[in-house]
Amino acid sequence: MVGGMRRSLSFPIPRCAPPNPRHRKPVRCSSLSCRFHPAVSHLDHNIRGLRAWHAAPRPLCGSPNWIAAGLERLDALLAALADLLFLPQAQEPLHRRRLSPWTDRLLDDFLRLADTHGSFRAALTELKSYQADAQVALRRNDEPRFASAVRAQRRAEKEFIRLAAGIHDVGRWPAIAEEEEEEEDSEGVDMAGIMRKVTVAAVAASAAVMVGVAATSGVATEAAAARGTGRQTWGAAVLRWTARAKAMMRGREKEREKAAAWRGAALAKLEKLEECIEALESSSERVFRTLVNTRVSLLNILTPTF
């Protein structure tokens, strides 16, 4: 035996036996190997990452970086799902269960997710317009315009909360019936479990992102409106300070300093909100398109062919 050489053992690849006509069901050879297939492992990795982001302590008032990270992780998860659905090993068990009740709910859930993220993108665009209007009004001391922009911004915040609540029940599919379990379709059961995990993680992350945007916007509007109490607004205060300027020069200077400090803080919050929106625009676009494409893929897989 030559030194340094190693013997290796090779095992024949098992082949599927031909179907026995006596058996009611043929033996399926194209197993997905859900625990070990690279596409499934990659998908599980992204699910764990998204769950870890969602479970981690989050800023009470939201954070642009935290929100953007969640949307990026959601985009990565949906991209991994798209890669999995491209495989015939994943398509076949889904197609076999195309008449199951949960497949109709699956299509409906992805349609609702896509619609919600489409509305989320539209709400982001509106919020960006409102905060920009508030910044301009604040710099120009235009009190009526500023008050109108703040009111519109608060309405937009409620829209984000409404969108998050609207997908609360997505992913709650009916249990697989006993007669389906008796079919010994382990691949179909595995794919059903995978799709459930993906939708549940996507819903939780989507809701957290939308609530986070509302919280970040809420901090900006509260800082912008903090100067006035009741009907007294910052614009009225400025007019009052100007009227008694000759009699109270020192008081006026202090009031101006306070007003300048307040406007600076309010502008900083609004600029932070603007950065948050800009960071989310491209990611939200990708998530929306991926959701639409994923539903189209599922529709092609689950639609019966004649």
What does each C-alpha distance from 303 to 99, 242, 299 come to in angstroms?
Answer: 9, 72, 6
Q: Residues 6 or more apart from 283 whose CB is under 8 A from it? A: 68, 71, 72, 75
Work out the number of other CB atoms within 10 angstroms of the CB of residue 27: 10
Number of domains, the chain: 1
Q: Which residue, chain included where needed, has tokens 């489409």?
A: 118
Backbone angles phi, psi at 8, to 5 degrees: -120, 145
Distance of CA 51 to the CA centre of its chain: 12
Helices (H) and strands (E) counted in the chain, each on its own, are 9, 0
Q: What is the pLDDT of residue 254?
A: 54
Domain around 158: 38-172+187-227+237-302
Q: Is there a domain that residue 9 lies in?
A: no
Residue 262: predicted pLDDT: 58
Low-confidence ranges of the chain (pLDDT < 50): 1-31, 34-36, 177-182, 184, 228-239, 241-248, 306
> Quick check: is 182 in a domain?
no
Angle (CA) 159 160 164, round 5°: 115
In a domain, 168, yes or no: yes
152 lies in a domain?
Answer: yes
Query: Token digits for 57?
Result: 């302590």
Is residue 13 situated within a structural domain?
A: no
Provide the pLDDT for residue 18.
47
Check residue 289 and give its pLDDT: 94
Does some domain include residue 33? no
Residue-level pLDDT at 12: 41
Judge whether 134 and 150 are in contact, CB under 8 Å: yes
Would 76 be classed as within a structural domain? yes
Residue at 24 is within a domain: no
